[in-house]
Amino acid sequence: MAQTQMQAARAGQITEAMEQVAKYEGMDPEKLRILVGEGKVAIPKNPAHKNLEPRGVGEGLSVKVNANIGTSSDRADAAEEIDKLNAALEAGADAVMDLSTGGDLRAMRQQVLDNCPVPVGTVPIYQAAVEVTSQDRGIVDMTADELFGVIEDQAKQGVDFITVHCGVNMAVLDRLRGEGRIMDIVSRGGSFMACWILANEKENPLYEHYDRLLEICRAHDVTLSLGDGLRPGCLADATDRAQITELITLGELTQRAWDADVQVMIEGPGHVPLNQIQTNIQLQKRLCHNAPFYVLGPLVTDIAAGHDHVACAIGGALAGAAGADFLCYVTPTEHLALPGPEDVYRGVVVTRVAAHAADIAKGREQSIAKDNAMAKARADMDWETMLNLCLDPRTARKIRENSLPAEEEVCTMCGRFCAVRLMRDYFHPERKKG
């Protein structure tokens, strides 16, 4: 049985993963160890994921970005998934989730693990649903043993964190029924679990047999990402009784996981108006004992289809500044289609912009230093340094190369009337070149 990062931290041990994360974050390893032991930081690191460069998520660390990839029943191309993985990594993703529901799921997941140096997450109920329906049975015919069998297999394979919808239980569904939502449940895994409960008139096995789940996660040091099955799918449903009831349940399950030395992240909304984002973060942190918070977006409008990655970045920046620790990206194809490699790249980049903006708002010195370095490079009209400092050098270089100015120092926006150069030449003539 593997020793979990939380177990080691509570025993006073600074693991190799903690050393690596502390170095990456510019943090004292002992301070990080304390935060891991308290559950305020999670380091998703399954020992079976051999090529992993660990990342930490939580209090005092930079805001991280996750990229979802994966096949569907309509589109299952293993080669394209590797292209999407590479696009996510090139764009700077801190974690990747394989959400495949088409093709050979285990083989697909193995190729992601073999080629991914950052933490890999999954939603095990997707595979369980695919396997059951391939036997001409319905999702509601899935047994608890089948679901837990998939979870254990994925843990053994090397998955670092799993989304499990333990909070979708009978009590929450009763609250949902009386809420009168427009969109009801938009979480795919949440809908699977809700339909199973309603059809079988039994309690959610992930909730009823939560200790069995904890045993698997503790044995393989898999971090639990407690899923937000009741996340709002439209602004009108945000921050309602059903969502908060589930969040209260997740807070209780967080404490039970920590008692078993299992690391936890809490997933959050979803579609949320700008004026409710800070409240959502404060509620999660209070109800879930300051566990790391992993948000999808939040998307701040329902009508940005084709540009939902922008709506996501707006909400993500505000959420990160308010205390969210982990942003799940959205691509331009959200609500429309399965994303391709370029969609993945664009989704990661715009979400990294949001994460970086949040880090600056929180006073993170390393992030502020990067912006100051860019400001100096612009003042010096040092184009090579400017391009290297960009969050997305590939796109920045392409734009400049496609619109070269007559004079190398400037750009085609202002040309010879460049304000920066004029001020340099007349206000700081000592900096004038040539």
**Where is the binding site for Zn(2+), in residues?**
271, 335
Do the Cβ atoms of 44 and 159 come closer than 8 Å?
Answer: no
Binding positions for [4Fe-4S] cluster are 411, 414, 418
Binding positions for substrate are 68, 97, 126, 165, 187-189, 228-231, 267, 294
> What is the distance between the alpha carbons of residues 160 and 98, in angstroms, rounded to a whole number?
11
Of the chain, the end-to-end C-alpha distance in Å amounts to: 67
Dump the DSSP string for 155-202: HHHT--EEEE-TT--HHHHHHHHHHT-SS----HHHHHHHHHHHHHTS
Binding positions are 68, 97, 126, 165, 187-189, 228-231, 267, 271, 294, 335, 411, 414, 418
Q: Where are the beta strands (DSSP E) in 6-137?
A: 41-42, 57-58, 64-69, 95-98, 120-122
Q: Is the dihedral of CA 67, 72, 75, 76 positive or negative?
A: positive
For residue 296, give the amino acid letter: L
| CA 147-150-151 angle, 5° bins | 90
> What is the distance between the alpha carbons of residues 304 and 234, in angstroms, rounded to a whole number?
12
DSSP annotation of 59? T
Output the six-digit token pair for 303. Answer: 């009508």
Output the six-digit token pair for 262. Answer: 């299992």
